[in-house]
Structure 1
């Protein structure tokens, strides 16, 4: 039987880690270009997880099928969406990007009707939770963000596609059932590193960069906490809370951003934002509410 309080705590931790990543990225980007920053992020995380695996005596599988799964997962779970976000958010705007990127639970719900059998599909309560959570995000970001929809259409579509990929990646997590969470986390990030490190060498010539101490520190935190630890939690939650439950952390991320702003930047919390946070939390609760057992 699942330890529900523990899983919900881990869900909150995942939202905190991925929600704070935007702050760390903002601190690193002035002196480290996006491709190199993402390459450092996944390479450092891969090294950390492989070291933990060696300490625990866990080995990566060697069969071709597992590595095909890892490679596809890396493209839809990290390499693809991170590159799309890095490019799209520059032109789409932060507010509208936050709204579009938070649609991943809705995409999980939609994809489940195409990829899953009827008994494994989410129900009406989870759809209600997904819609409430999305409404909460709109209020947190500000309804004015919707006025920008359709402006800079291509970058906005890139951000939306990143959410589509996240939704698809969450559903694919069931393919790793039976593996220790650190195995798909390590395999996925290692595949991402094999793509992104050469790309950064070609695109950015990182040996010519002069990153600041702040940028280096932010990149290290991104790789260790926001990637290595976060992916370990992510793959555990896919096996315990499922795709919809794990994807629901997207609704908590914006609340994390508001919380960090209030605590560290002395920002104020207005009533619209407070109501949005409440709706987002309610949405997450509905999505993760345990199903009744028959009999």
Structure 2
């Protein structure tokens, strides 16, 4: 009797259609994410241990991977700083042209990345409209790669942080000011702890997006081996040579490294959240 009663209560707690919804979800995620990713590992495993090690230790591949990770991290870090500033302006101030600026933020989402790459190369090449006035070379250098990655990653930070800023109560800032806190103290001790999870999320999204970017980078990078050659270009080169196993191996290495870095970032975010909860208690 008790078992029947417990089973009835359990059925009541589950939303109607849960079984069907869960089944559709698992099938969809498997078809779109799990199966394609598993094929990358299957193709890589077909090379054997010696072949995988040869691809993983190739100097050109390692140099491209180092360049991809460092430029992606630098671009995401810059976006995290300026993204918070832009999100603050859009959330807290009213000015003429605000809607236009707000719409421009989403432009990198809609603009083909190849078009962005061509435009940036035209502007920042040594003879470009902007590049000719600069004392440093931007196009065909890691600086140009970072610039392209900033362009495609900035919306992720702004759109993640902006709703959180809009949800912050200004009374908290006023209370901090009444208690004698300076604006800097209010930002770092009152606002930043509330914004930190959203900033980390935006940073992670921008970083992940930059790791796999190809279209906007391939033009402005110059693709010089051991200097400005990114890992996605290495994968495309392998595919053009019909070396599908080698391309899968490079993609697998990049996937594992990206997963580890993102896991580390989320671990830091979880640790900060836990410390904050302990402090509040």
Report the TM range for the smaller structure's normalisation: under 0.3
Which structure has the higher relative contact order (CA within 8 Å, separation 6+)? 1
Larger radius of gyration: 2
TM-score, normalised to structure 1's length?
0.27
TM-score, normalised to structure 2's length?
0.28
